[in-house]
């Protein structure tokens, strides 16, 4: 009986190094929705906690919805961690390993800002000493700002700049 021959699949003309490694549609939606939920609840909570002045001088919170947004933020934050985990190996790590050029710097910024953002978010909740809690809050706010800005650049500005370069 003759051995069946193995026929190689045709290769696509584009190179992952030039075009990047795509994210599956479901993964992209998970990243977008989780970013919207986590970023939305986080920035609204930060606005309420640090910028809104309470009408009652004896109020414990600055806004009546502040505790609800804090709890929502804490509950939806694991969705972002999970969504990023789904694309880490195929998109983030392989893009780094293969030296993919498009959106490289915004992607590196996202990868570098995510870990301190996630860890400081956890440590804000577990810190006992008030001075350490303030340190973690500051780190969390700075890295969340970097993450949010980097995500917007990675999704919207980087492709536009790439189109301008040709």
Residue 17 lies in a domain: no
What pLDDT sits at residue 89?
A: 85
> Would you state the structure tokens that stand for residue 44, as one six-digit string?
């609204």
Residue 9 lies in a domain: no
Task: Supply the pTM of this predicted model.
Answer: 0.81
31 and 59 co-located in one domain = yes
> Would you state the structure tokens that stand for residue 1, as one six-digit string?
């009986």
The count of domains in the chain is 2
Residue 16 lies in a domain: no
Q: Domain of 38?
A: 23-84
Q: Is the pLDDT of residue 59 over 60?
A: yes
- Last-in-domain residue among 56, 84, 112: 84
Distance spanning both ends of the chain, measured CA to CA: 54
Residue 8 lies in a domain: no
Residue 30 lies in a domain: yes
CA 62 from chain centre, in angstroms, equals 27
Q: Locate tokens 């190179």: which residue?
A: 15
What pLDDT sits at residue 9?
A: 47
49 and 105 co-located in one domain = no
Rounded CA gap, 128 and 110, in Å?
29
Rounded CA gap, 83 and 118, in Å?
13
Using alpha carbons, select from 36, 66, 64 the residue that is nearest to residue 48.
Answer: 66
């Amino acid at each position: 009986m003759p051995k069946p021959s193995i026929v190689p699949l045709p290769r696509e003309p584009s190179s992952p190094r030039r075009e990047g490694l795509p994210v599956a549609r479901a993964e992209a939606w998970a990243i977008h929705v989780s970013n919207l939920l986590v970023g939305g609840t986080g920035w609204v909570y930060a606005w309420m906690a640090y910028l809104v002045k309470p009408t009652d001088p004896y109020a414990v919170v600055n806004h009546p919805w502040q505790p609800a947004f804090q709890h929502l933020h804490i509950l939806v934050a694991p969705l972002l961690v999970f969504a990023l985990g789904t694309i880490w190996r195929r998109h983030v790590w392989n893009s780094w390993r293969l030296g993919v050029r498009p959106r490289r710097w915004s992607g590196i910024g996202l990868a570098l800002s995510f870990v301190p953002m996630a860890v400081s978010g956890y440590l804000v909740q577990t810190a006992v000493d008030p001075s350490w809690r303030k340190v973690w809050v500051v780190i969390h706010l700075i890295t969340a700002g970097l993450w949010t800005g980097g995500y917007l650049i990675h999704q919207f500005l980087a492709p536009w700049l790439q189109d301008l370069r040709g």
